[in-house]
Amino acid sequence: MNNKGFSMIELLGVIVIIGILAGLAIPAVTKYIGKTRDRAYDNIYESAYAAAQNKFMHDLDNSGITYSLDDLYNQGYMDEPIDPSNKTFCDGTVLVEEIEDEDHDGNTDLEVSEFKYKVTLDCTGNKCREYYTGKDSKKNGSPCS
């Protein structure tokens, strides 16, 4: 009798070990992919915020202006916002609003620090982040209320 090869018990043992390793690895990889996707969305938020800030200061518009991500991209203020989930163009808006003069210093000069920027992305199921400048900068990236 020729006994070359592996027995059924040895093969089952290897299959069980591979199954245990896969059971540990798959959740870790899934969690890593989710964190990477969230970071990609955060990069789009921050890029849209910076682009709107640059356009606002370039145009010196009044507050209450809404910029679309499409316009900011087409005018060269930001790179193309690509949705990391499905690799399509990520649409959204940036609303620029004046911050109330809480310290009542009467300063009416247009400064970047006197405005807040609300970034809304439509590509992620209406996720929204608000970015502030100046004295409210501790709220950067907070979810919209």
- 9-27 pLDDT tens trace: 999 999 999 999 999 999 9
Residue 3 lies in a domain: no
pTM of the model: 0.66
Residue 2 lies in a domain: no
Task: Tell me how many domains the chain contains.
Answer: 1
Segment 101-124 shows an average pLDDT of 62
Task: Check: CB of residue 115 under 8 Å from CB of residue 132.
Answer: no
Residue 1 lies in a domain: no
Residue 110 lies in a domain: yes
Q: Is 119's pLDDT higher than 90?
A: no
Angle formed at CA 134 by CA 83 and CA 107, multiple of 5 degrees: 130
Label residues 100-137 b or e (16+ Cβ within 10 Å = b). eeeeeeeeeeeeeebbbbbbbbebbeebbbbbbbeeee
The domain of 17 spans 8-143
| Helix or strand run (H / E) with residue 98 | strand 92-98
Residue 105 lies in a domain: yes
Residue 92 lies in a domain: yes
pLDDT of residue 130: 62
Residue 30 lies in a domain: yes
